[in-house]
Structure 1
């Protein structure tokens, strides 16, 4: 395998294909794959699990990493996912071995096309809730917001897909990565017999030494295959009062959560655009300098989670509305997935544009931010557009 070890003191020689070698080497059940604009990570096996108990998660992670370092591991990390619900079990482990590579976008081999499944897999699809029921939940939330109960809620729906054969997860991961090599692609075990796989556009927070970076998103528009129309949609998103308000709610919450940790926090006044293969998003890059260099990436991520981009505001009210409106358990969806090392550096990504695989089934997730100016038709269409990220990686469509 062509790859290199992460080394903070030197720049290693990187051979062409190093990142795609890690991507191609991924195997479900035992491996954990994460790719970001900064590096590619493949963790193999499990050296230590992170216990699920009442002690703070940051303490449990730090304790395991320190124990591994004392046992002789030179650069231990914790990798995995944390769910949406605060009391639900996480899926975090310290792998037996970790290989690091360059970013996928810098690997010339990533430009090679990914093959679609042969033979046209037939999927049985069930929408939960049905589009009309989802639209009614949006309408009910809008009515409550206009009466002053809360400001925003993110409502999601799922596609439950079943096929005669188990899906080829390595091939699916490869197609996701090749469609958007500059994004955040992941595949990690999420429970016994289950795998969380996806390609998120949203960085929750990263910490490198005393510096943090976050990239909250909020406000979206579907891409168009027509170039002129696609440019118009992007321009309209930048001027949309509804989407700018939705984005501002998210950015304000991120600023409020991170400010207590920082001597300096820079938040641009206006958002820019981030694009994926299927969506445009309003984006703000937040940077800061930590007051206490001992604050870890996971501690910062937990202070942010869940942002209004995946839950709503006020958080407690939005959680209650979600529980009343969504006829399914989100599990890892709208949680976070990422890694942290023993020095506290790490990267945590918002778990969106994803699916959970189990046996012959896939459960896809998509949500939309609902504010007082929302319409049931527009939010239902937005979730449909977000499903496209994964459906196209499967060679399927609604």
Structure 2
């Protein structure tokens, strides 16, 4: 990707870095960026690579962080884990870690993109008609009683002859949704996973555990009255409330073995992002064993029905049969864990995998009995807007 124009300027030596400073320092290929409502984290360089493991990934990472504690100023593991194959996780211990206050506290917004790059090409995979047929196949499987929910995705392949400035895209994502989780993680083969997820898989601070599953969505509207009406309709939708309950139940079931107590609200809230309304439930708990790390919890939870379906096995089978592409790191998890076990892991949605001149964007929708294929297609188009707006391509979905 081409070098960015200057975004924020270097941080003066007499003050801590701001969110804008850390965006400005981000470099694709040698950095990891993660912004949450708690903080902004920028990791630079690689002190230790962490070869992926197909068993006890969390235990291996904890052992490695303890081993390098005397050699690395702030031992922390950062990176991403793919949807289908934890053995292909891409995690590193960075050489340096910088932190700043959350986006929005001191954020200096970058200018809007000047416009889409010349010669850009966008191709849908599958084409909309193919996605509709896939939803119909999934509904037929549900009618047979094989599964209760499956999440089906489609992708947009974007080609840019001159390349896109990923630092600009990252800055725009953080500006467009400062309440979300903005990330950029290096991947094998010189690729980058970049996105702005609204969904916290799990965080751990001391003995406090938080998970925030989202399921059930509606597109936002620029008309305030219509937008409010869509939020109310989402909250009252039996179909969406059922879909949401499936996810919350699965998250709570996965967390209970690790928690001395677990608090699950009886009703969801409706929360906004820049492009969507979501049904949201914040599940909180207290660890039973203080040695349980954020990564242990993340691997226990992943994949939730929010991105896969339920039961998990049949849902995975339908995804493999219907989706005409491998998901890679889409609907995996991205985040960090430190030597104390604290950390934040989010679900890799509203994201793209990018290399020097191409990006592959992904968006999915939860299919349950009663879903209408045209509605699910429209939902994926609305979800694409998060990345497309940041790229200066709002109408490309």
Q: TM-score, normalised by structure 2?
A: 0.94
Matches within 5 A, 1:170-209: 170-209=167-206
Structure 1 residues without counterparts, runs of 5 or longer: 5-12
Name whichever of 58-67 and 217-226 sits farther off: 58-67
Q: Calculate the aligned-residue CA RMSD, in Å.
A: 1.5
Distance verdict in 2 for CA 1:3–1:127, change over 3 Å: farther
CA contact (8 A) 2:208 2:287 kept: yes
Identify the residue that residue 266 of structure 1 maps to in structure 2.
263
- Out of 307, 327, 331, the residue aligned to residue 328 of structure 2 is 331
Shift of 1:114: 3.0
Identify the residue that residue 113 of structure 2 maps to in structure 1.
116
Shift of 1:150: 0.5
CA contact (8 A) 2:59 2:296 kept: no
- Looking at structure 2, the residues matched to 108 and 306 of structure 1 have their Cα atoms a distance apart, in angstroms, of 33
Structure 2 residues without counterparts, runs of 5 or longer: 1-9
Q: Deviations over 1:346-379 (max 9, x none)?
A: 0000000000001210000000000011011000
SS at match of 1:185: strand
CA contact (8 A) 2:155 2:362 kept: yes
SS at match of 1:386: helix
Identify the residue that residue 35 of structure 2 maps to in structure 1.
35
Shift of 1:119: 6.6
Name whichever of 82-91 and 94-103 sits farther off: 82-91
- Looking at structure 1, the residues matched to 34 and 147 of structure 2 have their Cα atoms a distance apart, in angstroms, of 35
- Looking at structure 2, the residues matched to 86 and 27 of structure 1 have their Cα atoms a distance apart, in angstroms, of 27
Identify the residue that residue 2 of structure 1 maps to in structure 2.
11
Q: TM-score, normalised by structure 1?
A: 0.94
Shift of 1:120: 4.4
Identify the residue that residue 93 of structure 1 maps to in structure 2.
92
- Looking at structure 1, the residues matched to 343 and 392 of structure 2 have their Cα atoms a distance apart, in angstroms, of 33
Distance verdict in 2 for CA 1:87–1:37, change over 3 Å: closer
Q: Deviations over 1:291-313 (max 9, x none)?
A: 10100000001110000000000
SS at match of 1:105: coil
- Looking at structure 2, the residues matched to 132 and 228 of structure 1 have their Cα atoms a distance apart, in angstroms, of 32
- Whether 1:317 aligns to 2:314 is yes
- Whether 1:281 aligns to 2:290 is no
- Out of 353, 370, 374, the residue aligned to residue 373 of structure 1 is 370
- Looking at structure 1, the residues matched to 66 and 145 of structure 2 have their Cα atoms a distance apart, in angstroms, of 48
- Looking at structure 1, the residues matched to 139 and 15 of structure 2 have their Cα atoms a distance apart, in angstroms, of 52
- Looking at structure 1, the residues matched to 116 and 337 of structure 2 have their Cα atoms a distance apart, in angstroms, of 41
Distance verdict in 2 for CA 1:3–1:280, change over 3 Å: farther
SS at match of 1:362: strand
CA contact (8 A) 2:18 2:107 kept: no
- Looking at structure 2, the residues matched to 376 and 192 of structure 1 have their Cα atoms a distance apart, in angstroms, of 35
- Whether 1:252 aligns to 2:252 is no
CA contact (8 A) 2:215 2:247 kept: yes
Identify the residue that residue 166 of structure 2 maps to in structure 1.
169
Shift of 1:183: 0.9
Distance verdict in 2 for CA 1:54–1:392, change over 3 Å: closer
Distance verdict in 2 for CA 1:113–1:45, change over 3 Å: closer
Identify the residue that residue 296 of structure 1 maps to in structure 2.
293
SS at match of 1:309: coil
Shift of 1:383: 0.3
- Looking at structure 2, the residues matched to 182 and 191 of structure 1 have their Cα atoms a distance apart, in angstroms, of 29
CA contact (8 A) 2:41 2:99 kept: yes
Deviation >6 Å, runs of 4+:
none
Identify the residue that residue 359 of structure 1 maps to in structure 2.
356
Identify the residue that residue 48 of structure 1 maps to in structure 2.
48
